[in-house]
Amino acid sequence: MHCLTDYEPKILLAFGESLKGEKKFSDFLLQNGFPELSALSAAINSDTEALDWLLKNGYPEFAVLSNAIDNEEHAIQWLKRYKLDFLSIFAAACRKEDPAIKWFAEKDLRIFILLIKTIHDILLFQSWDSSDIHKIRRS
């Protein structure tokens, strides 16, 4: 199984920028052999096609991570069942669970703390968008 710890800091920084919607960093990831991180970035930003790509191309743990970040209980349990501890703690920190945030701080994992903050901001904006009456679609 793959893990975010498998990547060099430079690649993780590009991933962080792609999370923010910076297309040139998503393109960088795609063109340099990291399509899974580009897809994970898109999945975290609610792109269901990217989530499907992760599932179909050998990265189910990243698809599940995206769902665990969104607090989907079955995804949280899946990460635990397969003993993907780092991804499980990462998802919990993205959901602002204090023990997980403390774990990253105690280990001084700054690059991951930066990613967690970026993802938390994304979740906050998604929450605001979903409660904005002007953005609610009518059938």
- Residue pointed to by tokens 């920028």: 17
Say how far apart CA 41 and CA 36 lie, in whole Å. 8
Determine the Cα angle at 34 with ends 13 and 45, to 5°.
Answer: 65
| Contact criterion met (CB below 8 Å) for 135 and 46 | no
Domains in the chain, number: 1
136 in any annotated domain: no
99 in any annotated domain: yes
pTM of the model: 0.89
Say how far apart CA 104 and CA 113 lie, in whole Å. 7
118 in any annotated domain: yes
101 in any annotated domain: yes
- Domain interval for residue 62: 4-131
Element (H, E) at 34: none
What does the pLDDT look like over 20-79, one tens digit per residue?
Answer: 999 999 999 999 999 999 999 999 999 999 999 999 999 999 999 999 999 999 999 999
47 in any annotated domain: yes
